[in-house]
């Protein structure tokens, strides 16, 4: 029926009014808000020979706002910004960790919060070896100040259980790596 833009500063926030035909055939007037920031890609870096994953830790304002620990441990991720998902994932890995990714394995495409966020993420496993040839740390002009963390897959999975890792895309990719035998 109507779409109203509420904000377009960081992402596009809109209010939508529409009629939804319910399963029983009746029509219901509904109002929803959506947040559109574009689609993205994420990659879990895996050094199979060492049994390690490479993750990052960075400040996340929404966690801070909620009174939660604001430095979240995550996989590398970013907005597509015109790139295909694999190109984006490779670029983010270098920018955030310094690692150039070898073979990439597509895990899946998913919505992270489909009740209000339009973003669709493509998730990958990226194979790396040894120490990072670059420095990583993110891009200062994008407000990034990223710490690179390298640890055994088993330790990362324990951190999911303790709540030290609470980011959904990271949890999904760690579980994917374990369930799909990425480390043998």
d(CA 74, CA 128): 17
Tens of pLDDT, residue by residue over 34-82, are 999 999 999 999 999 999 999 999 999 999 999 999 999 999 999 999 9
Helix (H, G, I), strand (E, B) or coil at 112: coil
Look at the pTM and tell me if it is higher than 0.85. yes
94, pLDDT greater than 80: yes
Tens of pLDDT, residue by residue over 95-141, are 999 999 999 999 999 999 999 999 999 999 999 988 777 777 777 67
Return the exposure string of 76-87: e unless at least 16 CB atoms fall within 10 Å of the residue's CB, then b: bbbebeeeebbe
Tens of pLDDT, residue by residue over 142-171, are 767 889 999 999 999 999 999 999 999 999
d(CA 12, CA 14): 6
List Cβ<8 Å contacts ≥24 apart for 101-106. Answer: 101/43, 101/45, 101/126, 101/127, 101/128, 102/126, 102/127, 102/128, 102/129, 103/127, 104/43, 105/182
Please answer whether residues 12 and 118 qualify as being in contact, where contact means their C-beta atoms are separated by less than 8 angstroms. no
Determine phi and psi for 130, rounding to 5 degrees.
65, -155
Helix (H, G, I), strand (E, B) or coil at 118: coil
Helix (H, G, I), strand (E, B) or coil at 62: helix
Q: List Cβ neighbours of 87 (8 Å cut-off, separation of 6 or more).
A: none
- Would you list the DSSP string of 78-110? EE-TTS-HHHHHHHHHHHHH-PPP-SEEEEEEE
d(CA 82, CA 180): 30
What kind and span of H or E run contains 76?
strand 76-79
Say what the pLDDT of residue 143 is: 67
Say what the pLDDT of residue 10 is: 84
């Amino acid at each position: 029926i109507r779409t109203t833009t509420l904000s377009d500063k960081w992402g596009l926030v809109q209010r939508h009014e529409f009629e939804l035909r319910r399963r029983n055939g009746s029509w219901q007037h509904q109002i929803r808000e959506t947040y559109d920031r574009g689609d993205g890609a994420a990659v879990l870096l895996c050094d199979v020979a060492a049994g390690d994953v490479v993750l990052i830790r960075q400040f996340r304002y929404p966690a801070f706002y909620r009174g939660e620990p604001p430095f979240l441990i995550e996989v590398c991720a970013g907005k597509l910004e015109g790139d295909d998902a694999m190109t984006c994932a490779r670029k983010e890995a270098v920018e955030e960790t310094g690692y150039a990714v070898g073979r990439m394995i597509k895990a899946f495409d998913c919505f992270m919060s489909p009740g209000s966020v339009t973003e669709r993420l493509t998730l990958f496993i990226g194979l790396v070896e040894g120490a990072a040839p670059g420095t990583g740390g993110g891009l200062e002009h994008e407000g990034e100040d990223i710490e690179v963390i390298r640890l055994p897959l088993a330790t990362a999975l324990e951190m999911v259980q303790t709540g030290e890792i609470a980011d959904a895309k990271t949890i999904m990719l760690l579980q994917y790596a374990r369930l799909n035998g990425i480390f043998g």
